[in-house]
Amino acid sequence: MTQQQYSLDEIRLRLNELDDQLLQLLSERRKMSIEVAKSKVHTSKPVRDAEREQQLLVKLINNGLKKSNSMRNTSPNSFMPSLKTLFYFNKRIYKI
Protein backbone atom coordinates (compact mmCIF):
# COMPACT_ATOMS: atom_id res chain seq x y z
CA MET A 1 0.00 0.00 0.00
CA THR A 2 1.47 3.34 -1.01
CA GLN A 3 0.94 6.54 0.88
CA GLN A 4 0.12 9.71 -0.98
CA GLN A 5 2.58 12.54 -0.45
CA TYR A 6 1.10 15.91 0.44
CA SER A 7 2.73 19.28 0.20
CA LEU A 8 3.18 21.34 3.35
CA ASP A 9 0.49 23.76 2.14
CA GLU A 10 -1.97 20.90 1.60
CA ILE A 11 -1.28 19.53 5.05
CA ARG A 12 -1.74 22.94 6.67
CA LEU A 13 -4.96 23.53 4.74
CA ARG A 14 -6.35 20.21 5.96
CA LEU A 15 -5.29 20.99 9.53
CA ASN A 16 -7.10 24.33 9.29
CA GLU A 17 -10.23 22.53 8.08
CA LEU A 18 -10.00 20.08 10.97
CA ASP A 19 -9.52 22.96 13.44
CA ASP A 20 -12.68 24.62 12.12
CA GLN A 21 -14.60 21.36 12.53
CA LEU A 22 -13.27 20.90 16.06
CA LEU A 23 -14.33 24.41 17.05
CA GLN A 24 -17.80 23.85 15.65
CA LEU A 25 -18.15 20.54 17.51
CA LEU A 26 -16.83 22.01 20.76
CA SER A 27 -19.29 24.89 20.48
CA GLU A 28 -22.16 22.47 19.95
CA ARG A 29 -20.97 20.33 22.86
CA ARG A 30 -20.81 23.38 25.09
CA LYS A 31 -24.41 24.29 24.22
CA MET A 32 -25.56 20.77 25.04
CA SER A 33 -23.61 20.81 28.32
CA ILE A 34 -25.47 23.96 29.30
CA GLU A 35 -28.75 22.19 28.58
CA VAL A 36 -27.65 19.23 30.73
CA ALA A 37 -26.80 21.57 33.59
CA LYS A 38 -30.14 23.38 33.32
CA SER A 39 -31.98 20.07 33.31
CA LYS A 40 -30.12 18.88 36.39
CA VAL A 41 -30.80 22.12 38.23
CA HIS A 42 -34.48 21.99 37.21
CA THR A 43 -34.83 18.39 38.45
CA SER A 44 -32.74 18.99 41.60
CA LYS A 45 -30.10 16.47 40.56
CA PRO A 46 -26.46 17.00 41.44
CA VAL A 47 -24.81 18.87 38.61
CA ARG A 48 -21.45 17.10 38.90
CA ASP A 49 -21.19 13.34 38.39
CA ALA A 50 -17.59 12.26 38.90
CA GLU A 51 -18.40 8.61 38.16
CA ARG A 52 -19.93 9.52 34.78
CA GLU A 53 -16.93 11.72 33.97
CA GLN A 54 -14.57 8.80 34.64
CA GLN A 55 -16.69 6.43 32.54
CA LEU A 56 -16.74 8.94 29.71
CA LEU A 57 -12.96 9.43 29.88
CA VAL A 58 -12.39 5.68 29.60
CA LYS A 59 -14.91 5.35 26.76
CA LEU A 60 -13.44 8.25 24.78
CA ILE A 61 -9.89 7.02 25.17
CA ASN A 62 -10.79 3.48 24.17
CA ASN A 63 -12.81 4.66 21.16
CA GLY A 64 -9.98 6.92 20.04
CA LEU A 65 -7.47 4.12 20.24
CA LYS A 66 -9.74 1.72 18.32
CA LYS A 67 -10.57 4.15 15.52
CA SER A 68 -7.16 5.46 14.62
CA ASN A 69 -4.39 3.32 13.18
CA SER A 70 -1.91 6.11 13.78
CA MET A 71 -2.69 6.01 17.49
CA ARG A 72 -2.14 2.28 18.03
CA ASN A 73 1.14 2.85 19.86
CA THR A 74 -0.17 5.88 21.72
CA SER A 75 -0.52 5.74 25.47
CA PRO A 76 -4.07 6.37 26.71
CA ASN A 77 -2.53 8.84 29.16
CA SER A 78 -1.67 11.14 26.27
CA PHE A 79 -5.38 11.90 25.80
CA MET A 80 -6.06 12.74 29.42
CA PRO A 81 -4.98 16.40 29.49
CA SER A 82 -7.21 17.33 26.54
CA LEU A 83 -10.21 15.44 27.86
CA LYS A 84 -9.78 16.76 31.40
CA THR A 85 -9.58 20.29 30.00
CA LEU A 86 -12.86 19.68 28.19
CA PHE A 87 -14.46 18.52 31.44
CA TYR A 88 -12.99 21.50 33.31
CA PHE A 89 -14.71 23.93 30.97
CA ASN A 90 -17.96 22.02 31.32
CA LYS A 91 -17.72 22.31 35.11
CA ARG A 92 -17.41 26.08 34.72
CA ILE A 93 -20.58 26.03 32.60
CA TYR A 94 -22.43 24.25 35.39
CA LYS A 95 -22.13 27.29 37.59
CA ILE A 96 -25.21 28.81 35.93
First CA to last CA distance, the chain: 53
Is residue 2 a part of any domain in this protein? no
Is residue 1 a part of any domain in this protein? no
Is residue 74 a part of any domain in this protein? yes
Domains identified in the chain, total number: 1
The predicted-structure confidence for 18-74, as pLDDT tens digits, reads as follows 999 999 998 998 899 889 888 988 999 988 888 988 898 888 878 877 776 666 666
The CATH number assigned to the domain holding 66 equals 1.20.59.10
- pTM across the whole model: 0.68
Residue 42 gets which letter from DSSP? Answer: H
Domain around 71: 8-93
Is residue 3 a part of any domain in this protein? no
Residue 7 to residue 17: CA distance in whole angstroms: 16
- The distance of Cα 32 from the centroid of its chain, to the nearest Å, equals 13
Half-sphere exposure of 23 (CA within 13 A, CB side): 6
Give Cβ neighbours of residue 89 (< 8 Å, ≥ 6 apart): 30
